[in-house]
Amino acid sequence: MTSEQPDVAAARHRLAGHAVRTPLLEAPQINAVAGRRVLVKAECLQRTGSFKFRGAWNKLSSLSPDERARGVVAFSSGNHAQGVALSGKLLNAPAVIIMPADAPAAKIDATRAYGAEVVLYDRDTEDREAIGAALAAERGLTLVRPFDDPFVIAGQGTCGLEIAEQAAEAGVTAADVLVCCSGGGFAGGIALALETTAPFMRVRPVEPEGFDDFGRSLATGERVTNDRTSGSIQDAILSPTPGELTLPIGRRLFGPGLAVSDTQVLAAMRLAWQWLKIVVEPGGAAALAAALYRADAVSGDAVIVTASGGNVDQGVFERALGVG
């Protein structure tokens, strides 16, 4: 694995004209529930419906023409899959995506619709990294990791540059920044961006209850692994262990981790739809759920949260809205 450092400024240059500068939203009704200002970075409005397009585009656009022509392979529960699939389509790089068979149907269908070849696996009995390594070796594909890659981390970090600018415009220069966290690429990239542009902002990773490997790794100082790989509706943030590149970033720059329940996430999805007029998937609503229902663990008059994805199956969204 490369030891090259993530370059967020270079990533912003590559993404210019390709990624959406997503809005930072606020609603008085959300603030009232949280007991403070809550600024919501709506990455659910990003291309492909999540922040993952940023990292995927930055990685694929950095490849040589020959590497793009041979193609890429990625493993993902759905959002990285779509980001790589669309980036590959736009950059003429054939994409093979390894996805868990229990991933939301909407994510599998969308990945195929972007032109990618989808290979399904059982996340409880099969190793996605082994499958990816085998396909890369067999077909000469470039592996695009979901978080443990400096170009991917840097691409996600461009969201942090926007947060710093937009929060300052809203009169906020110091705050906890709650980031939905799986392997730590998004949180790590944002933290690197804020380190120089908004030094009084602190990233706090947010994970599902029972799957808080990053938070526990920060607390113990050692890289730990979750006991289970499935069992939460927050499918987008169920990575089993922090990344080798991202955990050192977290140790240096993150505050303590937070964990939220599926029930809290469903309530946050409903409030986001009701008052912010956005559709957020369970894993993408974790940070907002922490701001609303773990408010005692957050300090300051304002908090910034990422609504990191909006790719949700209809049935799950209806459950969040209390339909049926």
206 and 80 housed in the same domain: no
CATH code for position 88: 3.40.50.1100
Domain annotation covers residue 97: yes
Number of domains in the chain: 2
**Residue 107 shares a structural domain with residue 253:** no
Regarding whether 95 and 32 lie in a shared domain, the answer is: no
Pairing of strands 175-180, 302-307: parallel
- Confirm whether 205 is domain-assigned: yes
User: Using an 8 Å Cβ cutoff, are 29 and 275 in contact?
Assistant: yes
Q: In this structure, are strands 201-208 and 175-180 parallel, antiparallel, or unpaired?
A: parallel
Spatial neighbors of 16 by CB under 8 A, at least 6 apart, are none
Residues 193 and 251 in one domain: yes
Question: Which domain-ending residue is among 99, 125, 143?
Answer: 143
95 near 85, Cβ under 8 Å?
Answer: yes
3-class secondary-structure state, position 254? strand
Digit-by-digit pLDDT tens for the chain (324 residues) are 445 789 999 999 999 999 999 999 999 999 999 999 999 999 999 999 999 999 999 999 999 999 999 999 999 888 999 999 999 999 999 999 999 898 888 899 999 999 999 999 998 899 988 999 999 999 999 999 999 999 999 999 999 999 999 999 999 999 999 999 999 999 999 999 999 999 999 999 999 999 999 999 999 999 999 999 889 999 999 999 999 999 999 999 999 999 999 999 999 999 999 999 999 999 999 999 999 999 999 999 999 999 999 999 999 999 999 964
pLDDT at 3: 52
Statement to judge: residues 98 and 162 lie in one domain: no
pLDDT at 49: 97
Is residue 293 located within the same domain as residue 217?
A: yes
The encoded tokens of residue 134 equal: 């085998």
Does one domain contain both 288 and 198? yes
Which structural domain, as residue segments, surrounds residue 194?
Answer: 8-50+150-321
Same domain, 305 and 170: yes
One domain for residues 76 and 43? no
Query: Which pLDDT belongs to residue 308?
Result: 98
Do β-strands 37-42 and 302-307 pair in parallel, antiparallel, or remain unpaired? Answer: parallel
Is residue 3 in a domain?
no
Same structural domain for residues 157 and 240?
A: yes
> Is residue 199 located within the same domain as residue 92?
no
Domain limit, last residue, from 93, 120, 143 = 143
Question: For residue 231, which of 314, 109, 124 has the smallest C-alpha distance?
Answer: 124
Give the single-character DSSP code of 200.
T
Asked which of 119, 143, 167 is the last residue of a domain, the reply is 143
Q: Examine residue 1 and state whether it is found in any structural domain, yes or no.
A: no
Q: Which residues contact 52 (CB under 8 A, 6 or more apart)?
A: 76, 79, 80, 82, 83, 84, 146, 156, 309
Residues 245 and 106 in one domain: no
- Sheet of strand 24-25, all strands in order from the earlier edge strand to the far edge: 24-25, 37-42, 302-307, 175-180, 201-208, 258-260
- Give a yes or no: residue 105 inside a domain: yes
Residues 189 and 6 sit within 8 Å (Cβ to Cβ): yes
